[in-house]
Amino acid sequence: MTRSEASAPRSAFDSDCPSRTVLNHVASRWGTLIITCLRGGPQRFYVLRDSIGGISEKMLSQNLRLLATDGLVERRVEPSSPPQVTYALTPLGEELAEHLQSLVDWVTLRTDEILATRARHGVGDS
Amino acid sequence: MTRSEASAPRSAFDSDCPSRTVLNHVASRWGTLIITCLRGGPQRFYVLRDSIGGISEKMLSQNLRLLATDGLVERRVEPSSPPQVTYALTPLGEELAEHLQSLVDWVTLRTDEILATRARHGVGDS
DNA sequence: CCGCATCCATTTTGATACTG
DNA sequence: CAGTATCAAAATGGATGCGG
């Protein structure tokens, strides 16, 4: 074989590699916060919505569905009077959550320094 | 004081907290890959573009500028014939990169399991 | 009232062409 | 080489509606 065509993309740096997709679900605007939020135990939909400032219900349910099909989050339906839907991390999700938590913690810890740098560079928000 | 208005948002879960902004720069579609990519040492613009499959020049320069104003990435200009611009992690960026690397590593490691789960749920890509 | 689907205005992203 | 300008496509969020 000539080895001319890379056969299977192997890392998240390849746009066609499955791990790229997973990374996009997880390292996304809301993914990190949703998963981190679920570390405290199973949460109701509206609790998540209220915990994660600025998220829309649409994005929340969209991301939850995505994470559910990835096997990172489990959706439980309690058929009670006002129907209760609860979301929880799977074992796989718990594992991931630890990594994300350390990321969020680091960001929280260093934000002041970063802010100071940003002031020096001339404030650009976004 | 009546405490009626939350004075200062304190975590990334508040949409107005500065750490939310930082998290968005870092835990974004491209931020994670760019920073991880820079772990190998300073890189030229076109190297980054070619290393990170699927990124557009626009998104690359936009994200690099953002990360630079955050003090995570440094932009160096060599005034040579064809002007050379190099990007490198700052010490702060290096610190962050370790966290992101462990995240990327985990995703790479677990992608097969996640794929299997997704098959069970009925494939939904995106 | 809770969870979510749908429609539409706004924002973000990407492909390509173009400049110093 | 290292970007910026331009325009089209997609993601996002808000409002709204609806079944349970």
pLDDT tens column, A37-56: 999 899 999 999 999 999 99
CB atoms closer than 10 angstroms to residue A52: 21
Residue linked to tokens 């968005």:
B24
| Dihedral sign from CA coordinates of B55, B58, B62, B64 | positive
Question: What residues of B are in contact with residue A97 (Cβ under 8 Å)?
Answer: none
Q: Do A51 and B125 touch (CB under 8 A)?
A: no
For residue range B83-126, list pLDDT tens digits in order.
899 999 999 999 999 999 999 999 999 999 999 888 787 665 55
Please check whether residue B27 touches A, CB under 8 A. yes
List residues bridging with B26 in a β-sheet. Answer: none
**Does residue A34 carry a pLDDT above 60?**
yes
Residues packed against strand D, CB within 7 Å: A 28-30, 54-59, 62, 82-83; B 44-46, 57-58, 61, 64-65, 75, 82-87, 126
Distance of residue B57 Cα from the nearest chain A Cα, in angstroms:
15
A22-41 b/e with 16+ CB inside 10 Å = b? bbbbbbbbbbbbbbbbbeee
Nearest chain B residue to A65 by CA distance is B124
- Shortest CA distance to A115 belongs to which of B21, B97, B76, B8? B21
Distance, CA of A25 to CA of A16 (rounded, Å): 14
CA B26 to chain centre: 4
- pLDDT value, residue B80: 78
Helices (H), B28-90: 31-37, 45-51, 57-69
How many alpha carbons lie under 13 Å from residue B119 in its C-beta half-sphere? 7
Distance, CA of B80 to CA of B76 (rounded, Å): 12
For residue range B51-87, list pLDDT tens digits in order.
999 999 999 999 999 999 999 999 999 877 788 999 9
Q: How many residues does chain A have?
A: 126
Ramachandran angles phi, psi of B84, nearest 5° = -105, 130
What DSSP letter does each residue of B33-49 carry, written as one string?
HHHHHGGGS-EEHHHHH
Q: What is the value of pTM for the model shown?
A: 0.91
Please check whether residue B118 touches A, CB under 8 A. yes
For residue range A4-32, list pLDDT tens digits in order.
444 566 899 999 999 999 999 999 999 99
**Does residue A2 carry a pLDDT above 60?**
no
- pLDDT value, residue A9: 67
Task: Provide the positions of strand D that have an atom within 7 A of a protein CB.
Answer: 1-6, 11-16, 19-20
Q: Evaluate whether the domain defined by B17-120 bears CATH number 1.10.10.10.
A: yes
Calculate what percentage of chain B has a pLDDT beyond 90: 75
